[in-house]
A and B are shown apart, each in its own frame.
Chain A
């Protein structure tokens, strides 16, 4: 029996080193795979048309060879046609639209979420648990079920009109339907529930109103969660694709994702200008990455918590 314990220390060490090498190799290869699309996107955006169509492709380029013409070309004004006078890729217009939509939606979502989470966490009322269960149930429903009816609703509300849609109409159509999130309510309710009941009773005894208690006690205590919700929610507008495309009647009302796809392919020749396409992709990706690196800890903590608790 005891002989199974007799250890060959050298063999063990060699095995350990080998497995460590494998481990790092695995992690580094995964990291490179994750980074490759970013690298390829940036590298391609810095190539000239000739370089981009070189076979085999260039994998490394000295900084001195980098060209920013793809970027500057994006802002060259279109000479003729429907979009005459606009930049080829109206990045700043799309950016502005996206940021405005993101801010309005986030404010709206935060307000409805905080109020509802408070009601579900602190107030006793008839039907609370059933209502909450129903809300959770809606998370299972794919959004595609809503979209066409919502389009008709928006149409009926007068926010969609091919001939005379205003910027305000578009903003309303893009934001109002998205000002609720059951998931965030669930998430914030958990945080609210952890705040001890005693605080609430103490406040009641002092004659504090519910609303004041929410503002002065609950929100400050739950602020980290609320900030996480704000950050996560404001990233949403960047990926929104189908609804903004559906609802905006004019090119200048679209959001970044929409502007991106479809542009850069010459409809008459079918040729795609990959350099410009990649430059535009970089521009669209950059704001998100900047936001991420500014709030890295909060975003990662928020996302991981949302994953674990759900």
Chain B
């Protein structure tokens, strides 16, 4: 009976496991193997020699990779906290207007159902120095036009534009999740806080955030992982060739990996890509573990 049960279960799992074996587990293992080859040619499967550190050394010495890591860290480090704080504030504000909540929520959700490339292009045009709406609005406040994305745009300007797009894009999901998270908090705590004469800010800081902390932790981990993989928004704003106002000025780790995408016929290229993607994997893993450990002390359940 036990045996039969086992067999039956594997039968149900077969379609999944076969596909994953080929397209998930094999490439995962292969990435590690390939990253240890020197002069590897994927199509013929030949390599010059095995050297575990060679490709990592090449990548880590590459100034473009350094730039990609810095850009990626800035994107994750700014967009995640800002968007989490903003979406929390929005979710809490929505809570106090039950009647219009659904309406606003629907609007706020729209960025979730867009095509990142299409909306990235719309942003690119919004940030256009002469024809864009952003500089028009800034003009109302007496700020002179900024060159956001043009050929001579400053690093800060490009980065700000990219961050705004990233935050705009990520708000929808977080607002929705935090709103439902708030609905699950027992209303009695808020009644009790009123009786205890807590101000709105105190309620937010001392009641809402702690009670929501498991969810905030979860969302911040997934957001950091997502932000570390930033790519589509860069392509939307700058195109997949230039990757920045100046060539590669906004390159990210993922974009760095992808620049080897047409190099499958070139010797060793794919090993560089593998090494870079493994580094990304480790960064992701380390940051999420760190986040979990650090927050364990502050999360209350």
Bound pair: A and B? yes
Residues in chain A within 8 A of chain B (CB atoms): 19, 23-24, 26-27, 30-31, 33-38, 40-41, 44, 52-57, 59, 111-113, 115-116, 118-119, 123-126, 128, 131, 135, 138, 140-153, 155, 176-177, 179-180, 185, 210, 235, 238-239, 241-242, 245-246, 256-257, 260-262, 265, 274, 277-278, 280-282, 284-285, 288-289, 291-292, 296, 299-300, 303-305, 307-308, 310
Q: Does B288 contact A (CB under 8 A)?
A: yes
Q: Which of A53, A149, A185, A285 contacts B30 (CB 8 A)?
A: A149
Which of chain A's residues have a CB closer than 8 A to the CB of B125?
A: 40-41, 44, 274, 277-278
Asked if A59 and B133 make an inter-chain contact with CB atoms under 8 angstroms apart, the answer reads: yes
Q: Does B46 contact A (CB under 8 A)?
A: no
Asked if B97 and A27 make an inter-chain contact with CB atoms under 8 angstroms apart, the answer reads: yes
- The segment from B55-63, B73-81, B152-160, B258-266 found at the interface with A is B258-266
Q: Does B268 contact A (CB under 8 A)?
A: no
Residues of B in contact, count (CB < 8 Å): 98
- The segment from B14-22, B187-195, B203-211, B293-301 found at the interface with A is B14-22
Enumerate 12 A-B pairs (CB-CB under 8 Å) in ascending A order: A34-B107, A40-B125, A41-B119, A57-B136, A112-B16, A119-B12, A147-B257, A148-B31, A241-B235, A281-B118, A300-B106, A303-B112
Asked if B6 and A125 make an inter-chain contact with CB atoms under 8 angstroms apart, the answer reads: yes
Asked if B6 and A145 make an inter-chain contact with CB atoms under 8 angstroms apart, the answer reads: no
Asked if A36 and B133 make an inter-chain contact with CB atoms under 8 angstroms apart, the answer reads: yes
CA distance A256 to B119 in the complex (A): 13
CA distance A262 to B118 in the complex (A): 11
B187-224 contacts to A, CB under 8 A, are 200, 215, 218-219, 222
Asked if B176 and A262 make an inter-chain contact with CB atoms under 8 angstroms apart, the answer reads: no
Q: Which of A111, A145, A147, A210 contacts B278 (CB 8 A)?
A: A145
Q: Which of A119, A149, A260 contacts B117 (CB 8 A)?
A: A260
Q: Which of B222, B239, B261, B280 contacts A246 (CB 8 A)?
A: B261
Asked if B168 and A118 make an inter-chain contact with CB atoms under 8 angstroms apart, the answer reads: no
Q: Does B108 contact A (CB under 8 A)?
A: yes
Smallest Cβ distance from B130 to chain A, in angstroms?
5
Which of chain A's residues have a CB closer than 8 A to the CB of B9?
A: 119, 123-125, 128
Asked if A153 and B123 make an inter-chain contact with CB atoms under 8 angstroms apart, the answer reads: no
Asked if A152 and B115 make an inter-chain contact with CB atoms under 8 angstroms apart, the answer reads: no
Q: Does B177 contact A (CB under 8 A)?
A: yes
Asked if A241 and B27 make an inter-chain contact with CB atoms under 8 angstroms apart, the answer reads: no
Q: Does B244 contact A (CB under 8 A)?
A: no
Q: Which of B27, B112, B117, B177 contacts A150 (CB 8 A)?
A: B27
Q: Which of A31, A235, A291, A305 contacts B108 (CB 8 A)?
A: A31
Q: Using A27-B90, A284-B118 as known contacts, say yes or no to A149 and B27 having CB atoms under 8 A apart.
A: yes
Asked if A242 and B180 make an inter-chain contact with CB atoms under 8 angstroms apart, the answer reads: no
Asked if A148 and B274 make an inter-chain contact with CB atoms under 8 angstroms apart, the answer reads: yes
Which of chain B's residues have a CB closer than 8 A to the CB of A36?
A: 126, 133
Most buried by B among A23, A27, A150, A185: A27
Q: Using A27-B104, A300-B109, A308-B215 as known contacts, say yes or no to A144 and B280 having CB atoms under 8 A apart.
A: yes
Q: Using A27-B97, A112-B16 as known contacts, say yes or no to A300 and B281 having CB atoms under 8 A apart.
A: no
Asked if B173 and A123 make an inter-chain contact with CB atoms under 8 angstroms apart, the answer reads: no
Which of chain A's residues have a CB closer than 8 A to the CB of B34?
A: 149
Q: Which of B19, B43, B94 contacts A112 (CB 8 A)?
A: B19
Which of chain A's residues have a CB closer than 8 A to the CB of B113?
A: 235, 288-289, 291-292, 299
